[in-house]
Structure 1
């Protein structure tokens, strides 16, 4: 009987009067049964300590030493697209207008925020941070991200029609081409980078065998930023393809005044921490679930250091 009364009241949301009528008992009896259900542990009432996104943002900035951050309430669907608005606000606050150089990375998060729309900023130069990948997947079409971002921002797009990974000989020849070298030179003048933060992944069948062999050695990496792999403690992990990439270097990302990591998913907490500690990201745009996962992981690490 206790279980039935508890279910009717707390799960079916019936009033005590309606329960009394249904069971042909007095409302006083129903009230006593509900109190007993709580006392014996059938019903447990928990008061959640709700934290606002603003509080979580402040905690995230302090815990990781970020320049800035934006954390949104986790929506039921479309979390990556929902990050476009706080990203846009961050770009506006940075004063990225005429003459600024904004680098664009690849990945699902970057694709979704670009599709959702970036704000008009002015005649900035929009540049891809890597060459292209020989894959049809939508989240690797970096030149298309640059085109769309430039259209939205009101800036000038710069494209790289070269592979992100090549032989050393081809890389040297490609970088000597004036149209390529002009775009690549902008990596030294980045005012802002917008990058995804990836998880380590299974080797892609369309990538070269040498690259695949190199990536097999990185299964212990926390994640990557445009294929610069990092451990959770922020160490850059060398791999066979690193020297053959046509991509902005980790050092170039570190010198950008604002390097924004756009990512979501509790499973990416370790990767986001590593990217920030490596210096390739100094700002984060994410959601509350991801931010709490990061803060929880950092708290657990600190607790472990004191045991």
Structure 2
């Protein structure tokens, strides 16, 4: 039924009432069927235009922080709807930056998982690799390996695995893991990536994967005392975008702060009231070269 309703509407130009009369349905049933057809991938809509949704706000954001690439999605009362909206523009932003043969390094962030469903379906000659290890057995967070694989599957690209946890049990263990050939080669590939795709985490519990999964209240307090306001793929920074030493830096398996900043293009995908200060610091310090966020967050960043 979904396919019939979708074909009548999108291919044959029939309106909701005409379809309802033809198939013996109500207009509400037709509307719900069309919405479900989009959710289930029966209908895919492509808009061949690069016109921004909020041009004035985009210009204000770019002017204030000196950033050339800003992507602003609509905000919704339901957080999951906003997440999907941001994911849609995140996919568009990434695809606009890709060139044949490019390599993309993917950071540690649950927000990045929202991009994959909207990525592709063009077959892309690109490579996607994690910029940091994964959290084995994690339930609440999505690993960079999973995001890399999902993006590659969506676009027919190549995905590399970084076979390591993002946090080793000790400094010695971390050094040994980094020296493993498969780990070393994946990290080397990430270091020379053309594009970095990152989320931005905060320093309060509930606002970032690293804080939520690795740090006690005492360690968080120590970070805040040093001036930390957020992290990018496990590396913490202050209001000016300067690196702040964290309690688990020597145990992390992934790109260092300096290596992240050396990537030519660094796309930050983040939104929400608890991320405004973090995003502002990342923009002020030049940590990210492109931003994908929602209307409410962008508005807060410009006022």
Which of 183, 199, 205 is the matching residue for 2:186? 183
Which of structures 1 and 2 has the bigger CA Rg? 1
Q: Which moved more, 1:255-264 or 1:77-86?
A: 77-86
Stretches of structure 2 that go unaligned for 5 or more consecutive residues are 1-52
Q: How does 1:206-225 map to 2 (within 5 A)?
A: 207=214, 214-219=219-224, 221-225=228-232
CA contact (8 A) 2:174 2:250 kept: no
- Cα distance in 2, alignment partners of residues 225 and 91 from structure 1: 17
Which of 276, 283, 287 is the matching residue for 2:294? 287
Note closer, same or farther for the CA distance 1:102–1:125 as it changes in structure 2 (3 Å cut).
same
Stretches of structure 1 that go unaligned for 5 or more consecutive residues are 1-51, 297-307
Instruction: Give TM-score scaled by structure 1 length.
Output: 0.72
User: Which residue does 2:135 correspond to in 1?
Assistant: 133
Note closer, same or farther for the CA distance 1:104–1:205 as it changes in structure 2 (3 Å cut).
closer
Which secondary structure does the structure 1 equivalent of 2:228 belong to?
A: coil
- Cα distance in 2, alignment partners of residues 88 and 119 from structure 1: 11
Q: Which moved more, 1:152-161 or 1:134-143?
A: 134-143
Count of matched residue positions in the alignment of Structure 1 and Structure 2: 242
Instruction: Give TM-score scaled by structure 2 length.
Output: 0.72
Which secondary structure does the structure 2 equivalent of 1:201 belong to?
A: coil
User: Which residue does 1:42 correspond to in 2?
Assistant: none
Which secondary structure does the structure 1 equivalent of 2:141 belong to?
A: helix
- Cα distance in 1, alignment partners of residues 123 and 203 from structure 2: 34
- Cα distance in 1, alignment partners of residues 107 and 84 from structure 2: 16
- Cα distance in 1, alignment partners of residues 120 and 282 from structure 2: 23
Which of 154, 162, 185 is the matching residue for 2:164? 162
Distance apart, 1:56 and its partner CA:
0.7
CA contact (8 A) 1:129 1:187 kept: yes
Q: Which moved more, 1:175-184 or 1:247-256?
A: 247-256
User: Which residue does 2:265 correspond to in 1?
Assistant: 258
- Cα distance in 2, alignment partners of residues 204 and 278 from structure 1: 21
CA contact (8 A) 1:130 1:247 kept: yes
Deviation digits for residues 160-197 of structure 1, max 9, x if unmatched? Answer: 12121222211221122111111000122111111111
Note closer, same or farther for the CA distance 1:271–1:168 as it changes in structure 2 (3 Å cut).
same
Distance apart, 1:201 and its partner CA:
3.0
CA contact (8 A) 2:104 2:190 kept: no
Q: Which moved more, 1:269-278 or 1:283-292?
A: 269-278
